[in-house]
Structure 1
Amino acid sequence: MAEGKNREDLKRVYLEEWLHNKIRDEALTDPDFRGFPGGGIPERPTRADVDNYHLFRLRKLLSYASENSSFYRDLFDKNHIRPSDIVSLADLAKIPFTDQADLARNPNRFLCVSHGDIARVTTFTTSGTTGPEKRIYCTDGDIGRIVEFMGAGMRTVTEKEDVVQIMLPSGSTSNQADLLEQGVLKIGAKAIKAGLNLSSEEQLDLIKKHGATVIFGVASPVYRMTQELKGLHALDGLGVKTIFLTSFLADTQREYLRRVWNCDVHSHYGLTEMGLAVAVECHAHDGYHFNEADLLLEIIDPETGRVLGEGEGELVFTTLTRQGTPLIRYRTNDIARLIPEPCPCGAATLRRFGPVKRRLELIVRLSNGRLVYPSLFDEVLYTLTELVDYDLRVTGTGGRERLHFTVETTGQDPDIRDRVRQLLFHEPALRPLFAENTMDEPEITVVPPGGILQMGRAKKKIIDERVM
């Protein structure tokens, strides 16, 4: 037992050791850092050393962006900001935010290198929306740092002898699956790229063939695979030790996966603008540790923009080492809670934030003033162990509204519609929604297995079909 406990402790602090090594390497290789106040070579870095590293990196970034990005050069000039004005991390609040509209309006104005130095271009919209496209440019150096953190994040929850089955979309060169494969190989583990086009049985065949001990994928297809296989195969005896998921996971889903597979379940927070891999959940399952070697985090009041010392607010990131498309005070629209207490895993110098349960652009405000968003329903509906997936639409006109649920289950339970309705009306968190006289009774449609397919969708959304 003692040996097992030691292995757990090593896994739990790996990301912290990785960050400390990055700071020491910076001190050894960058003479500017050695000359920076407090920039020596600490044997055991403290939180103050991490903050000092962030300040050094931030000041270099501001000079770099001011010299090479026309967007930030104009932003600084317009607001009478000089990089030398930023002498503390608190001074970062003097700089205006960058938002998604800025990036979509003209991504080339953020570019800091020539197009010939770009190794990867990612063009995307947010959360499967139809809004304006954004574009992120990465150099070889940027990609190398992304891969390095992916490896460190995987090493936080896996071992070198693990076999990782990657259930992510594949396509263009240097896609997320390719980069994760490189990260897995970097830590000495084995990677199997399975993609998302295989059936659940075919995914299972790969697990058995290669002896996969870790499944990494988007929550929706992994959960679907589990539901389709659980009645046919003994999933708890396959030897899978860890399921690592890329998107929000309701506690009810997590517990269900843990029980069916007899394994640990972790989640990961990612953002394309920040290089895909951003934060991982350690074995304490009490928040996310993020990539503090390359990212600086603020949490702000989404209404006022005021920086919050703790509590719930919008995540705002600054890329400290990005060469292609640096982003300064980039608003993510993701709402999470900053956790000030040290993590139970023992990583005393790492900051962390709680699960991202709300995304501003996915929140729908009803006419009665109440807010609805996917995770509000996830925690309730996934208590139905036969639920595979669901879609949600809101319709209405003239101030009256109705929620339409399309529900897919594993079988033909004749009572499923009534059970869903009972959950909606009796759950304390949801009951007030339907108590208002502006809400019509929800409509519930049950579809057969396979009726809802969201294989590549990382974030569930509520479709707003109201006539305003």
Structure 2
Amino acid sequence: MNIPITPLDAWIARRLEDETPGGGYSAETLRPVDRNNLETAQERALRILVRHAAANAPFYRKCLRGLEDAPLRELPFTFPSDLAGAESRFLTVSQSAIRRVITLTTSGTTSPAKRLHFTAEDLNATEEFFFRGMTTFTPPGSTVGVLMGGTGPDGIGGLLERALRRMNCSVHVFPLRESPVETAARMDEVRPLVMVGLPARTVAITTLSRHAPAIVLLSGDMAPPSLRRRIEERWGCRVFVHYGLTESGWGCAVECAAREGCHVRELDLLSEIVDENGNTLPPGEWGEVTLTTLTRLSMPLIRYRTGDEGRILPGRCSCGSVLRRLEVRGRLPRRRSGGEPLRLYDVEEVLWRFPQVQDFSLFLSEGDHDRASDALFLELVISEKGEGIADDVVRSLQPLPGMPRHIVVTQKRCSVPEHREAKRNWKTRSSFSGVGESGKS
């Protein structure tokens, strides 16, 4: 089978040749990226970024002093806590140049919010990446449904809409405030060939819509294999994955037709994988995804620790591209004192294998004195045929590394999936005691 090379390859090759990308959709002669030229360009961009940040961003002025020519591995890390409540220390432009501000709060904490600032140039760069990435699986003139947040002109949905209209696509953005029933009904009306959506929300729509798109792109949250399979089996479609976060300007990396990891937009972002001590890991090893925003000079982030667990895949993709490929599981494992780390990704992978499970919430409780009183509280939303699966769920979860001794399952029957928060994360409860090896209620 001849797998087409990722369209990001031709785009980056053109930029390496200092050519101006076209303003609309056109068939391009594929020019494979020369890895040596790419790395030379990355190094040049890194030097410009570091000098610019050291001269203009108060946060970096001190910590980068004397490191303007240092290799990447010798530069200091930037942490989410550095950003919290201190965005002005990262800005290198005046507030009048800012077009979009995004506020990110951490669920369940009183920490100051992170505020990310974007200029029109930053947003246009994201739109360009969305345009190039979407050509991977979107024929010109297609009908596309977008089930993402940010439906305003400069939000994720709005930028996707602008990018897709350059391909003469008919774009329908479904607001997340709609109920899944309303979204499914509108889907049946517009009948999109391609659907872009949040993973769990897209799963909910598969149970309600009569129309099935041929292609689905998942973004914005974890998409374990069992979730992807469920969507493919219910809709008979092909599922692709995009990885990005607000700090990266939303767009970061997207799968090609080979679906062997997400190709990184390497002229805009430098990606590393580091261990908990900050040591850079070789391709194939799992660690924390760390990003440097090479071309976003308005609010540079250098060696930003994302809190996501991933790895750079070794070797070349089957499509033939030499661009780096990221595989991301989701948030870093939850480390409990004296025990193995527990991955939310692993728990999701198990739960989506149960066809009766429509959604769920997870709560962790850590004992005050010892790990024997740790517990996982699991609230399942199940279909009409989901009664009696609690014991099976507990048995499937127990072997996972880092799983607490106690697993407490509650079930709620719901014929229609409910609206919920866009991105799943651990929630916490107070200490737990009083059940046996595993429990359900």
Using structure 1 for the length normalisation, give the TM-score: 0.83
Q: Please say if 1:353 is aligned against 2:343.
A: no
* Contact 1:373 1:462 survives alignment (8 Å): no
- Does the alignment pair 1:72 with 2:52? no
Alpha carbons of structure 1 residues 257 and 451: separation in structure 2 relative to 1, 3 Å: closer
CA contact (8 A) 2:356 2:385 kept: no
Whether 1:376 aligns to 2:346 is yes
Aligned residue number for residue 38 of structure 1: none
> 2:15 is matched with which residue?
22
Distance 2:76 2:155 in 1: 31
Partner of 1:422: 395
State the percentage of identical aligned residues. Answer: 31
Q: CA deviation at 1:283?
A: 1.9
> Alpha-carbon deviation of 1:202?
2.7
Q: Deviation digits for residues 402-453 of structure 1, max 9, x if unmatched?
A: 221111112143322232233234xx436x846xxxx24x221111217984
Report the CA distance shift for 1:140/1:128 in structure 2 as closer, same or farther (over 3 A): farther
- Extract structure 1 runs of 4+ deviating beyond 6 A: none
Match of 1:339 among 310, 313, 324: 313
What's the secondary structure of 1:371's corresponding residue?
Answer: coil
Counterpart secondary structure, 2:64 = helix
Equivalent residue, structure 1, for 2:24: none
For residues 424 and 69 of structure 1, do their structure 2 counterparts lie closer, same or farther at Cα, with a shift above 3 Å needed? Answer: closer
Structure 2 counterpart of 1:385, one-letter code: P
Q: Indicate which of 276, 279, 282 corresponds to 1:309.
A: 282
Aligned to 1:322: 296
* Counterpart contact for 2:151–2:158, Cα < 8 Å: no
Match of residue 389 from structure 1: 359
For 1:72 and 1:291, locate their aligned partners in 2 and report how far apart those are by CA, in whole Å.
24
Superposed displacement of residue 338, structure 1: 1.3
Distance 1:321 1:413, change over 3 A: closer
CA deviation vs aligned residue, 1:99-141 (integer Å, no higher than 9, x gap):
1111114110111111111111112125786532111111111
Q: Secondary structure at the match of 1:345?
A: coil
* Rounded Cα–Cα distance in structure 2 between residues aligned with 1:128 and 1:168: 23
**1:16 is matched by which residue type in structure 2?**
D
What CA distance in whole angstroms lies between the structure 1 residues aligned with 2:362 and 2:122?
Answer: 38
Give the equivalent residue in structure 2 for 1:404.
377
The reply on whether 1:111 has 2:111 as its aligned counterpart is no
Q: Select 2:271's aligned residue among 292, 297, 303.
A: 297
Report the secondary structure of 1:157's partner residue.
coil
Query: Structure 2: which 5+ runs fail to align?
Result: 22-29, 434-441
Offset at residue 389 of structure 1 (A): 1.0
Structure 1 CA distance, aligned partners of 2:160 and 2:415?
A: 29
Deviation at 1:299, TM superposition (A): 1.4
Q: How does 1:87-98 map to 2 (within 5 A)?
A: 91-98=71-78
- The equivalent of 1:39 in structure 2 is none
Secondary structure of 1:393's counterpart equals: strand
Distance (whole Å) between structure 1 residues aligned to residue 17 and residue 88 of structure 2:
34
In structure 2, distance between residues paired with 1:129 and 1:340: 37
Structure 1's 43 and 261: CA in aligned 2 closer, same or farther, altered over 3 A?
closer
Distance change >3 Å, CA 466–CA 18, structure 1 → 2: farther
Structure 1 residues 377 and 181, CA gap change in structure 2 (3 angstroms): same
Q: Distance in 1 between matches of 2:115 and 2:17?
A: 33
Partners in 1 of 2:85 and 2:14 — Cα distance?
38
1:365 pairs, out of 327, 330, 335, with 335
AA aligned to 2:400 is A
Q: 411-420 vs 264-273, which deviates more? A: 411-420
Q: Taking structure 1 as reference, are residues 467 and 100 closer, same or farther at Cα in structure 2, changes over 3 Å only? A: farther
User: Structure 2 counterpart of 1:365, which letter?
Assistant: R
Describe the SS at the equivalent of 1:365.
Answer: coil
User: What is the Cα deviation at residue 200 of structure 1?
Assistant: 3.1
Contact residue 111 and residue 325 of structure 1 kept, 8 A:
yes
8 Å contact 2:264–2:325 — kept in the other structure? Answer: yes
Normalised TM-score (structure 2) = 0.88
| Partner residue, 2:161 | 181
Q: What is the alpha-carbon distance in structure 2 between the residues aligned to residue 334 and residue 260 of structure 1?
A: 29
The one-letter code matched in structure 2 to 1:447 is: K
The residue number in structure 2 matching 1:200 is 180
CA distance in 1, matches of 2:256, 2:428: 33
Choose from 152, 155, 158 the match for 2:138.
158
SS in 2 for 1:385: coil
Matched, 1:223 2:197: no
CA distance in 1, matches of 2:421, 2:363: 19
Give the SS at the match of 2:252.
strand
In structure 2, do the counterparts of structure 1 residues 179 and 127 end up closer, same or farther at CA, with 3 Å as the change threshold?
A: farther
Q: Residues 325-345 of structure 1, C-alpha deviation per residue, up to 9 Å, x if partnerless?
A: 111111111111111210112
Instruction: Determine the C-alpha separation between the residues in 2 that align with 1:152 and 1:278.
Output: 12
Q: Structure 1 pair 23/188, CA: closer, same or farther in 2 (3 Å)?
A: farther
Is the contact made by 1:65 and 1:72 (CA closer than 8 Å) also made in structure 2? Answer: yes
Alignment check: 8 A CA contact 1:196 1:455 kept: no
| Residue 17 of structure 2 corresponds to residue 47 of structure 1 | no
